[in-house]
Chain A
Amino acid sequence: MLEINNLCSGYRGVQVLNEVSLNVPKGEIITLIGANGAGKTTMMRTLSGTVETMSGTILFQGKPIEFRPTHYRVEKGLIHCPEGRELFPNMTVEENLLLGAYTIKTKDKIRENFEKVYNVFPRLYERKSQRAGTLSGGEQQMCAIGRGVMADPKLLILDEPSLGLSPKLTEEMFVLIMQINQTLKTTILLVEQKVADTLEIATYGYVLQTGRIVAEGPAAELKNNSIIHKAYLGI
């Protein structure tokens, strides 16, 4: 689905990612974990094209996309739910979701996607006429993910969906993410700092440290990896 080779990128004058390679096979949940400032968000922005690629390649469904604009990548089904939700606060939940379906051309398909989203997040249906800015943190996160699902993602990139959620809500969120993966058959690239929970639902994981991949492996193995133990699980 997504194949990243030797990717370098960053901001004006500062390189953040250094020769990162990563692979997301179709149908799976792949996770990228790393501490604050490791470059996870930068990586996701580079994938969606809101940060420019300096060198390296990004193959999406076999085709290079690293020099394509963001709207092209979205049309192809690469959907990035950004860190911090980034909703349209003065618009209603429904209007937010509708904007998520911006690249979907037919009314029937949009209606179908609304149903999908409301099935996974019944809470959003109850709140559909409420302004997104007035939702609770958990509801806002649901709205952000729902907005991503509205675009018929082939690959859904979730950047810290648990940010600001209580442990209980985080667990619920992970269940919902798994549900999207299984019932909607959406491939997911999940960025997280809640490592233990994440490794429960992911199939394979990568560890990013100051812009480099320092460990990778099947989720079950990473749970026992000593780097991860020391750095993230605090055991």
Chain B
Amino acid sequence: MELLFQIILNGLIWGSIYALIAIGLSLIWGVMDIVNFAHGDFLVVGMYVAYSVFAATQLDPLIAAPIAGIVLFVVGMLTYYLIIRRVEGASLLIQIVATFAVGLFLKNLMQFIFKTDYLLIKDEQQSFFSGSVTLFGADINSAQLATAVISIIVAGIFFVFVYNTRTGRSMLAVSENPYAAKLMGINITKINVIAWGLGAAIVGISGALLSKFYYIFPTAGAHFGLLSFIIVAMGGFKSMWGALVAGITVGVVEALASFASNSSLKVAFVFLVYIVVVLIRPKGFLGK
């Protein structure tokens, strides 16, 4: 029983960071109807930002997270302004290739700057959230616990922004009906820029958080990118709440699967659950 609790708690922790990553993807997907295949690479840039900050100043990734957010906000806005804006209204394939190209560019840029070595932020002296804590009898890595809590807080702030500010509401409006949103006097281009900036910022923050306990290398984003596509599909397109719920679900499924069978099979189990969910609810948990 205690073991099960430990496993689920671990799953919840991974799930909250998955959820944060997926919310960033869901935002861009919802507002623009464009699937961002550079999402995993945005995450990696966030990891490298945290690494660079640590290398230069010894500051913990948890403190570098806002910096990663700002850097990625700019990267996201530039991606929209320089590339995506030019393929708006083009066919789906052209848009996919465009975002894929952005991802490829970022991957290679990271490889050029940081080489292909596996990097790890080792924070021995500072011991900022290091070691482990005992929670209801379960042993939890405190760095992971801290990232999970921060992920949930960041997601919370983001939801408050979306549902309670004029800009947030106009993002929802563009996502539901871009034509009507335009007729309300909403400047769609401006909203798209903000959505790309925010979506990228969120995944950048996730990357910084992740770098606290995960290896950093140029292709680290592939796995997380793939997972976030599944999460968004499972949660329901255009539903950021769905992304939150599905992200946490995927974390728990992974944790249970790697315990029950083999950790290398956990992604297969995630797919299995995804297929079951979509069979029962074709539009995902909260899709409309």
Chain A residues with CB under 8 Å of chain B are 48, 50, 69-71, 74-75, 79-82, 86-91, 95, 98-100, 102-103, 147, 151
- In the complex, the answer to whether B183 meets A75 with C-beta atoms within 8 Å is no
A106 to chain B, nearest CB (A): 12
Q: Which residues of A contact B182 (CB under 8 A)?
A: 50, 70-71
Q: Please, which residue of chain B has its CB at the minimum distance from the CB of A50?
A: B182
- In the complex, the answer to whether B288 meets A99 with C-beta atoms within 8 Å is no
- In the complex, the answer to whether B172 meets A91 with C-beta atoms within 8 Å is yes
Interface 9-residue window, one of B135-143, B184-192, B214-222, B264-272: B184-192
With contact pairs A70-B182, A90-B176 given, residues A99 and B170 touching in the complex (Cβ less than 8 Å): yes
With contact pairs A50-B179, A86-B177, A89-B176 given, residues A102 and B184 touching in the complex (Cβ less than 8 Å): yes
Q: Is the interface of B mostly helix, strand, loop or mixed?
A: helix
Judged by a CB distance under 8 angstroms, whether B180 is at the interface is yes
B286 to chain A, nearest CB (A): 11
CB proximity to A under 8 Å, residues B153-208: 166, 169-170, 172-173, 176-177, 179-187
- In the complex, the answer to whether B185 meets A87 with C-beta atoms within 8 Å is no
- In the complex, the answer to whether A80 meets B180 with C-beta atoms within 8 Å is no
A-B pairs with CB below 8 Å: how many? 58
- In the complex, the answer to whether A88 meets B180 with C-beta atoms within 8 Å is yes
Chain B residues with CB under 8 Å of chain A are 166, 169-170, 172-173, 176-177, 179-187, 288
Known: A86-B180, A90-B288. 9 other contacts (CB 8 A): A50-B179, A70-B185, A71-B182, A74-B184, A80-B183, A86-B177, A99-B170, A102-B166, A103-B185
Q: Which residues of A contact B187 (CB under 8 A)?
A: 69, 71
How far does the alpha carbon of A147 sit from the alpha carbon of B186 in the complex, in Å?
14
9 residue pairs from A and B, CB less than 8 Å apart: A70-B185, A71-B182, A75-B185, A86-B177, A88-B176, A90-B176, A91-B173, A95-B169, A99-B170
- In the complex, the answer to whether A98 meets B169 with C-beta atoms within 8 Å is yes
B247 to chain A, nearest CB (A): 21
Q: Which residues of B contact A87 (CB under 8 A)?
A: 177, 180
Partner of B183, one of A48, A91, A95: A48
- In the complex, the answer to whether A82 meets B179 with C-beta atoms within 8 Å is yes
How far does the alpha carbon of A99 sit from the alpha carbon of B182 in the complex, in Å?
11
How far does the alpha carbon of A95 sit from the alpha carbon of B172 in the complex, in Å?
11
B184 to chain A, nearest CB (A): 5
Q: Which residues of A contact B172 (CB under 8 A)?
A: 88, 91
Partner of B169, one of A71, A82, A99, A147: A99
How far does the alpha carbon of A99 sit from the alpha carbon of B176 in the complex, in Å?
12
B168 to chain A, nearest CB (A): 12
Partner of A74, one of B170, B177, B179, B183: B183
- In the complex, the answer to whether A50 meets B169 with C-beta atoms within 8 Å is no
Q: Which residues of A contact B288 (CB under 8 A)?
A: 90
With contact pairs A88-B173, A90-B288 given, residues A102 and B180 touching in the complex (Cβ less than 8 Å): no
Partner of B186, one of A48, A86, A95, A102: A102
How far does the alpha carbon of A73 sit from the alpha carbon of B146 in the complex, in Å?
49
A65 to chain B, nearest CB (A): 13
A17 to chain B, nearest CB (A): 19
With contact pairs A88-B173, A90-B288, A99-B173 given, residues A82 and B180 touching in the complex (Cβ less than 8 Å): yes
How far does the alpha carbon of A82 sit from the alpha carbon of B184 in the complex, in Å?
11
How far does the alpha carbon of A100 sit from the alpha carbon of B170 in the complex, in Å?
11
How far does the alpha carbon of A99 sit from the alpha carbon of B170 in the complex, in Å?
8
How far does the alpha carbon of A87 sit from the alpha carbon of B183 in the complex, in Å?
11
A100 to chain B, nearest CB (A): 6
B204 to chain A, nearest CB (A): 29
How far does the alpha carbon of A81 sit from the alpha carbon of B184 in the complex, in Å?
9
**Which 9 A-B pairs rank lowest in CB-CB distance, beginning with the nearest?**
A74-B185, A86-B180, A103-B185, A102-B184, A88-B176, A71-B187, A71-B185, A102-B185, A99-B184
Q: Which residues of A contact B170 (CB under 8 A)?
A: 99, 102
With contact pairs A91-B172, A95-B169, A99-B169 given, residues A86 and B184 touching in the complex (Cβ less than 8 Å): no
- In the complex, the answer to whether B166 meets A86 with C-beta atoms within 8 Å is no
Partner of A50, one of B166, B177, B183, B186: B183
Q: Please, which residue of chain A has its CB at the minimum distance from the CB of B163?
A: A95
B195 to chain A, nearest CB (A): 16
How far does the alpha carbon of A147 sit from the alpha carbon of B184 in the complex, in Å?
9
Q: Please, which residue of chain A has its CB at the minimum distance from the CB of B173?
A: A99
How far does the alpha carbon of A85 sit from the alpha carbon of B65 in the complex, in Å?
44
Q: Which residues of B contact A89 (CB under 8 A)?
A: 176-177
